[in-house]
């Protein structure tokens, strides 16, 4: 996934960040709001398995 690049650095960086946040939300679902070390009894939402890995690359300006 990659957003369309406009050539405007701040716009491109913002779109890249937004896309990364959407990927994170898809991966973690409701678990995105848990504090580190908190118990996750509810596996609702995300597609990333417990113990899985997610790599997000974003465009910097």
Regarding pTM above 0.75, the answer is no
Residue with tokens 């890249």: 16
Three-class secondary structure assignment of the chain? CCCCCCCCHHHHHHHHHHHHHHHHHHHHEHHHHCCCCCCCCCCCECCCCCCCCCCCCCCCC
Domain, as residue range, for 25: 1-61
Q: Are 23 and 54 in contact (CB under 8 A)?
A: yes
Q: Which tens digit of pLDDT belongs to each residue from 2-59?
A: 777 899 988 988 898 899 999 999 998 877 666 666 655 555 678 988 889 999 987 7
- Rounded-to-integer distance, Cα 1 and Cα 34, Å: 26
Q: How many domains does the chain have?
A: 1
């Amino acid at each position: 996934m990659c957003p369309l690049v406009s050539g405007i650095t701040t716009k491109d960086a913002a779109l890249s960040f937004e896309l990364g946040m959407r990927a994170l939300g898809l991966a973690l679902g409701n678990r995105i709001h848990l504090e580190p070390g908190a118990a996750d009894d509810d596996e609702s939402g995300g597609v990333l398995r417990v113990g899985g890995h997610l790599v997000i690359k974003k465009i910097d300006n």
